Structures are given as structure tokens and as C-alpha cells.
Amino acid sequence: MTTSQRPTAWQDLLSFGRSVRLALSSPETRAKRAYEIFPPSTWTALNDHSSYLNFGYWRSEADTLDDACQALAEKLADAAGFQEGDRILDAGFGYGDQDFMWLERHNPAKIVGLNVTPTHVQIAQAKARERGLSDRLIFQEGSATAMTFEPSSFDRVVALESALHFRPREEFFRQAHHILRPGGVLATADILPLNDYSREDLFSPTVPRENWHDGNEYLARLRSAGFVNARLTSIRTHVYEQWCRWAERKLDAPEFQQNATWGYRRWLHRELADDTRMRRRFANMDYVIVVAEKPM
């Protein structure tokens, strides 16, 4: 299975049906349904080659979205302090691109990926099989808030732009604490409101109300889950504006036109058009890297 299949009018119709289903679905199933609305080729239509699903960490004007997504994944790996031989849990892995990169660059013993979206799991599993890596990259369907791993199963737990969806995020913190070994590290790349920005203004219905709080509260919730040395760094000045500029440049590119469904193109055009709705939303949002440790 690949992520680059040309969308058809039929897929637009399917997306429409799936958006209606999303609007009617229970809060528990929203994240999974949201990522099934569009075909994979649409979700990754702004990327050149990769299939990352994050906003990226932009270091220079010359960066592409692929570069930025990879840099964000590396920033998270640095924050988590990946070491050779680590057992890593990646909660909410998308199509798994970062896991293939981390395996190659950091040589962990294994990476277990957990994801609620069946298509994401199938695509990542197929890529691992094709590359003969299924014994060290283990992609599973499941929720980051319903984990059944044994205590001390992992040295690091990471969530790359996914914990905002977890219902609620603090349940993930509690479970991550349980499955980490003493001295293990939890690290997230995550999205938060900057001030009292209302969740209702956010475009995604997939962010639970209880996750929409500021950074101090984020750290407090980590501490009450048992973590110590919890710290948060804002990287927002390297994220949103650069992503908007990239998306604006891509809107009229033939590859984007070819790979994204009509509905998605129309939505993104509107979001980035004159009233720059998207930029106004981003002005109220932080983007953070957060790290915390389980005590020895």
C-alpha cells in the first residue's frame, strides 16, 4: 500500500460521508475517524516524499516540509535522550516515518508503535514488512489511553504531535509512567493554547476539552502522574508561520492538485485565503517540546 494514489471524485464523496459520520460519532472514536476522512495521498499531499503528519520544526528558509518534519522528530528524539538498545514506545505514530528514521539513526532494540487509526497501522506495518524490519518496528492498533504493556516495558515513551488527541492526555501520562522503567523518560511534541483561547475556535473536533489547558497545567498533570523534572520548551516560532508559507506555496503546485481531494484543496484554500483564518488560530496556539522522568 502506498500513500500516493490519485484521488477520484468517488473519494470526495466518501470523504463527505466520513465527515458526516465524524460529526455524529462519540468523542472516543473521533480521532480515529478524523484521520480516515481523507485518503492517505491527501493527508500527505503537502509533503514532497515523506508521509509525516506534523507541522515540522523549520530551521531555515530552505527547508522543505519533509526536512522540517524530520527535524521535529529528531528534536523529540534528542529531548527523550534516545540511546542505543532502548525499548521505545511511539504513541500515535501516523504512517511511522519517524520510527524508520529513529531505528536507523539511534539503533534502539525495538520501537513499538501504537495507533488508533487502522489505515495508519496497515500502512506502517506494510512498510516494515517490505523493509524486513517487522521484528524491531512493531506497529499495533490500540489507544495510548488503554495500554496493556507490563510495568517497566520501555526506556522511553514518545508522542510526536499526537498527545493532544489522547482522551484525556493525563490518562496517557499515568499509563506511560506505569510502563516506563524507573529512570525512563516521557517526551512529547505537542499543541497547547497560549492563553485562554477557546477550544471551540480550534478547527479540530478531535482535541478533547480536558486537554485544552496551558503549559503550567501540563507540567502539573505530569507531576501528579508521578513524573519528576518535567520541563517544557516552546518552539512555536519555528513551526506555524513557516508551515503556512509552505502550504501557500504548495496550493497551486501540480503534485498537490493531483494528490489532494477536491474537498481538502477547497478547505485549505479557504483556511489560507484572505482572512487567513488559520493564522489567526495559530496566533493563539503554542507548540511545545515536553520532557519528564520517572523517578529511579
Ligand X SMILES: C[S@@+](CC[C@H](N)C(=O)[O-])C[C@H]1O[C@@H](n2cnc3c(N)ncnc32)[C@H](O)[C@@H]1O
Residue 12 near residue 31 (C-beta atoms within 8 A)? no
Please report whether residue 162 would count as binding ligand X according to CB under 6 A: yes
How distant, in Å, are the alpha carbons of 96, 160, 266 from that of 67? 16, 15, 26
Q: Which residues does 206 contact at the CB level (< 8 Å), separation at least 6? A: 30, 31, 34, 165
Q: Which stretch binds ligand X (CB under 6 A): 157-165, 221-229, 236-244, 262-270?
A: 157-165
* Beta carbons within 8 Å of 18's beta carbon, 6+ residues apart: 33, 36, 37
State the minimum distance, in angstroms, from the CB of residue 9 to ligand X.
Answer: 26
149 near ligand X, rule: CB under 6 A: no
| Residue nearer to ligand X on the CB measure, 42 or 115 | 115
Q: Please identify, among the stretches 104-112, 143-151, 229-237, 251-259, the one whose residues bind ligand X according to the rule CB under 6 A.
A: 143-151
- Comparing C-alpha atoms, which of 290, 289, 287 is closest to residue 192? 287
For position 30 contacting ligand X by CB under 6 A, the verdict is no
**Neighbouring residues of 267: CB distance < 8 A, sequence distance ≥ 6:** none
Please work out the total of residues on this chain that contact ligand X, with binding judged by CB under 6 A. Answer: 22
Q: Compose the 237-276 pattern: x for residues touching ligand X by CB under 6 A, - for all others.
A: ----------------------------------------
> Which CB sits closer to ligand X, 11 or 117?
117
Asked whether 47 and 69 are in contact (CB, 8 A), the reply is yes
Q: What is the closest distance, in whole angstroms, from the C-beta atom of residue 206 to ligand X in the complex? A: 7
Pattern 163-202, binding to ligand X, x per CB under 6 A? --xx------------------------------------
User: Which region among 3-11, 111-119, 236-244, 245-253 touches ligand X (by CB under 6 A)?
Assistant: 111-119
One residue of 52, 173, 218, 240 binding ligand X per CB under 6 A: 52
Q: At its nearest, how many Å lie between ligand X and the CB of residue 293?
A: 22
Looking at the Cβ atoms of 100 and 256, the one nearer to ligand X is 100
**114 touches ligand X by CB under 6 A:** yes
Query: Considering the complex, what minimum distance in angstroms separates the CB of residue 69 from ligand X?
Result: 7
Please tell me whether residue 293 binds ligand X under the rule CB under 6 A.
no
d(CA 58, CA 239): 6
Contact 162, 144 (CB under 8 A): yes
Q: Is 126 helix (H, G, I), strand (E, B) or coil?
A: helix
Q: Name residue 58's amino acid.
A: W
Return the number of the residue (164 or 292) whose C-beta is nearest ligand X. Answer: 164
Give 87's contacts (C-beta < 8 A, 6+ positions apart).
108, 109, 110, 112, 153, 154, 155, 156
Question: How many CB atoms lie under 10 A from the CB of residue 85?
Answer: 10
Give the strands of the sheet with 285-293, arranged side by side: 137-141, 110-115, 87-91, 154-160, 180-193, 285-293, 228-234
Q: Considering the rule CB under 6 A, would residue 145 count as an interface residue with ligand X?
A: yes
Quick one: which of 160, 186, 187, 289 contacts ligand X (CB under 6 A)? 160
Least distance (Å) from ligand X to the CB of residue 193?
17
Site for ligand X, rule CB under 6 A: 31, 35, 52-54, 91-94, 114-117, 120, 143-145, 160-162, 165-166
